[in-house]
Amino acid sequence: MLGNKPDLHRTKRFGSLAYVHNWPSPSLKKLDDNCGIGFLVGYLEDQAGYQIYFITEHAVQHCLNASINEDIVYKDRYADGMKKMSPSG
């Protein structure tokens, strides 16, 4: 670690919108959702992938297959909810 620069080429902006691919299974029908939408909240040190927060489930999951849109972040979509939660508001 000392003397070597860390490799940050896969690092994404925290809070970015994430589209997570759902693997096909026999229970999925043709018109069922094939992806979940969440927000990037972190990484794991020892594994590849992302930590994604899913608003509909109120849960964080480790996901390997995710497309991250760094142009849209959590506060862009939910700014009103953040104002209600702040101690000064």
Predicted pLDDT at 2: 74
User: Between residues 36 and 25, which one has the greater pLDDT?
Assistant: 36
- 40-65 confidence digits (pLDDT tens): 999 887 888 899 999 888 999 998 88
Q: Decide: helix, strand or coil at residue 81.
A: helix
pTM beyond cutoff 0.85: no
- 59-76 confidence digits (pLDDT tens): 999 988 889 999 988 877
pLDDT band at 84 (very low <50, low <70, confident <90, very high): low
